[in-house]
Amino acid sequence: MKLTTEIVTTFMEQKIPFNKYLGIKITVLRDGYAVMELPYQPQFIGDPFRPALHGGVISTLIDTCGGAAVFTKIEPQDRASTVDLRVDYLRPGPLDSLICEANILRIGNRVGVTEMKVYPKSDPTLIIASGKGVYNIRRIGQSLVDNICIKESGSPDRPI
């Protein structure tokens, strides 16, 4: 049984505090593929003279979207964490909401590899960054579903 899109979406948007703080949303999620949106906020500006978005915001979106794609391919008891991330910044990030698309290149027993691209919401043809992520897949006994079938009061009893 693979993780449902509802479980992955809840986990990525609501249970990772940093993602929630940034406002990252999943717009498309299917087997081996994810699309996320990061709504523009003036606090994301890293170069006020240009102005342009901060590279750390862009790399966060790339990493998160790649992880979401990996989660579509693993079982509920599995975990995934980033072990390597390469980001190529191709042009300055415009002051716009960003979209990231992630595709699985390979998924194995212990490692998942993804490729990502980021573009402004207003112009999908303007690729501002690309990335490649490698994610460790770890098999454990307790199900992510058990942790995510969440109490309204907040976080799971133990960290995921």
pLDDT tens-digit readout, 119-129: 999 999 999 99
- Provide the number of structural domains found in the chain: 1
Q: Kindly state whether residue 115 falls inside one of the protein's structural domains.
A: yes
| pLDDT value of position 3 | 80
Q: Kindly state whether residue 60 falls inside one of the protein's structural domains.
A: yes
CA distances from 32 to 55, 90, 123 (A): 25, 25, 24
Q: Kindly state whether residue 48 falls inside one of the protein's structural domains.
A: yes
| pLDDT value of position 122 | 97
Give the chain's mean pLDDT: 90
| Residue of 54, 61, 50, 55 lying closest to 19 (CA atoms) | 61
Q: Kindly state whether residue 45 falls inside one of the protein's structural domains.
A: yes
